[in-house]
Amino acid sequence: MHPWLIEDPFRVGTYGIMAFIGFMVAYALFIQELKRKRDFLNGMKPTVIADVTLMLAVFFGILGSKLAFMLFEAPEFSVEMLMWNAGLTWYGGWFLGCGAVVLWFRMRRLNVAMMADLLAPMLAQGYAFGRVGCQLAGDGDFGVPCVPENIDSAICMTYPQGLVPSPCYAGGVEYLVCPTDAIDPFWFPVHPTPIYESITGFMLFGLLWFLRKRIHLNGVLFAIYCLIAGVLRFLVEFIRMPEMRPERFLGLRDAQLIAIAQVLFGAIIIAVVATRHRSAKARP
């Protein structure tokens, strides 16, 4: 693994670099989409909207991710855990970041449903770039160890040099994280779930980008994003390492419960949009 792109004289993490690339790609594409919808921007410049949206998303997204980790996953609320390089919980950033952006859209009297549709592909690719960063950093988002009969499977790999190394077998004992003084540790190959998520994330981005000019009802594209992204996150949690994420209800983790809520939210949006569309067509 390569958690650090630069280590001296200061550290630059590969996760941060990939997140930055994701934000910059989203910024450029968002401006392009805003120009396509220029007539609905209430006279505001696309660059101004993109600048403020990006600032709010970055600040409140990181803040929400860290707060969710501290409140629901960290063993204790401490300064050390707060400053930890890892420890960013996606749904905290999703809710707080989206909430701040939506509030600003309403304050500027922009069509929230239309703006959500414009941002939907950017959310998918941003998540995908973030997972590429997780893979490079080896920050613990990897999956469970491969079963013994598939130990040499080409899809499995180890993370011995990551921020959170994959499990190891040393001195006849299986460790979740290998001790630093272990003699001749055997690293267990695990499922590289960040790779799975980055591939499906980029595929979802491609689908949404393809549909963006073909769906003309505001809110539907964002609903499709919620539906597919929620299903993907729900499924991948079954093969991800539990780390510090406890099971809450019916053996499901927080991320899976949030993913279910995300799917339901997408379904509700589609139902509401469809009902309004039928009512509008029925009017004389």
**Can you tell me the distance from the alpha carbon of 270 to that of 267, in angstroms, rounded to the nearest whole number?**
5
- Per-residue pLDDT tens over the stretch 188-225: 889 999 999 999 999 999 999 999 999 999 999 999 99
In terms of phi and psi (left: phi > 0; alpha: psi -120 to 50; beta: otherwise), the region of 2 is beta
- Report in angstroms the alpha-carbon separations of 25 from 21, 29, 50, 61, 164: 6, 6, 12, 17, 28
Is there a contact between 218 and 273 (Cβ–Cβ < 8 Å)? yes
Is there a contact between 69 and 150 (Cβ–Cβ < 8 Å)? no
| Mean pLDDT, residues 23-34 | 95
The pLDDT-based confidence of 93 (bands split at 50, 70, 90) is confident
Is there a contact between 123 and 208 (Cβ–Cβ < 8 Å)? no
Note the pLDDT of residue 264.
Answer: 97
Is there a contact between 265 and 224 (Cβ–Cβ < 8 Å)? no
Question: How many CA atoms lie less than 13 Å away from 94 in the CB half-sphere?
Answer: 19
Rounded to 5 degrees, φ, ψ at 219 are 100, -20
Residue that is written with structure tokens 């390569």 in the block? 2
What six digits make up the tokens of 44?
């505001």
pTM of this structure: 0.88
**Can you tell me the distance from the alpha carbon of 81 to that of 87, in angstroms, rounded to the nearest whole number?**
8
Note the pLDDT of residue 140.
Answer: 80
- Per-residue pLDDT tens over the stretch 135-194: 999 888 889 888 765 555 678 888 888 888 888 888 778 887 788 788 888 888 899 999
CB-count exposure of residue 279 (10 Å: 0-12, 13-18, 19+): exposed
Is there a contact between 130 and 62 (Cβ–Cβ < 8 Å)? no
| Mean pLDDT, residues 235-251 | 81
User: Which H or E run includes 262?
Assistant: helix 254-282
Is residue 51 over pLDDT 90? yes
Query: Residue 216's CB: how many other CB atoms inside 10 A?
Result: 9
Domain boundaries, the chain: 4-144+191-278, 150-190
